[in-house]
Structure 1
Amino acid sequence: MPPQAVAKPKCKISASRKLSLKILLLARATEELEAEKAAREEEKVRYLGEKLSPLQLIGLNIDELQKLCKQMHEKVDMVDEERYDCEAKVIKNNKDINELNLKIQDLGGKFKKPALRKVRVSADEMLKALFGSKNKGSMDLRANLKSVKKEDIKQEKELTMEVGDWRKKLEGMSGMEGRKKMFDA
């Protein structure tokens, strides 16, 4: 059967019934969210009640207040260290999860490279595509090529012939006479 011939069966629920179900679902979801928020607040209050005793500052002198402040600073430092350790663990775990997900994708996935089409574009069309209509002049690539003349080739051969044997130069420069020649030149 061709894919066009397969038709989806029509939904048996009316539009008004669908709408009423959506409204009921949204109402239920908002109730659950509010209940979850209230439960979190209660848990927070309970936890703070366990960890922190209520402060009684009435009748304390300066030394006792200073001791209390030092104790509170120590507790804050401990909590801050715990928070930092927890954040470091979370960051490390997230990084590990990402690496493992990448490994899973590499192992399980067979990625097919799309077949690229060959496109012939002249230099002028490429410049128009890159720079838009700003580029008014045409670009002739062959005009910028270096031309080689036969005279240049002959001059290069003569230069190589003049160099000669490097051992002769070395023998001429050895000893005191060679050093004197270096200073004279």
Structure 2
Amino acid sequence: MADDEKKRLEEAKKAKQAEIDRKRAEVRKRMEEASKAKKAKKGFMTPERKKKLRLLLRKKAAEELKKEQERKAAERRRIIEERCGKAKNIEDANEAELQTICQMYWHRIYNLEGDKYELERAIEIRKMEIADLNSQVNDLRGKFVKPTLKKVSKYENKFAKLQKKAAEFNFRNQLKVVKKKEFTLEEEDKEKKPDWSKGKPGDQKVKEEEVEA
């Protein structure tokens, strides 16, 4: 009985190991197939194929651009014909026909100028209304619109102050320095009497004659 039990255990182990090996082989096979598929995908775009694809894309883009330009040119011609009309044959026209064509163009220009003036006036009115509404909205919100201020250089005030100080310094240097003469008692005695205190030139002679008499 013990031998049979051992045999069953060994067979179970072998079967389990065989199952594990089989699963590992399957996983390995799947991984190899996936790697082969990746390599095949990477090798699909060869340099020659890339070059051909690039040329085809450029050709397609050039064709699309040409079609777009033609479409825009046709649209432009259509709009010009609608607004200005077809070009008149001036070379084979006589004087009366030329006058008629000029009058027609003059009336067209006159009407267009009138329409232009009305449109500009309507635009100005709209702008004024928009500005008024904006100011009303700001007043309701309690916001104050800051006025646009001019940029002032911060160095201008410094230069102005320096120039002012330099002007004051020059003005002080140009002023004459007045020296006050200090008088002493001795200098007061030595001072000469003024001319008015001496009297007239004839007064001295009159005094001498009176003394002799």
What range is the shorter-chain TM-score in?
A: 0.3 to 0.5
Q: TM-score, normalised by structure 1?
A: 0.38
- Decide which structure has the larger Cα Rg and report it: 2
TM-score by length of 2: 0.33
Using CA pairs below 8 Å that are at least 6 residues apart, which structure has the higher relative contact order?
1
Q: Which one has the bigger helix percentage?
A: 2
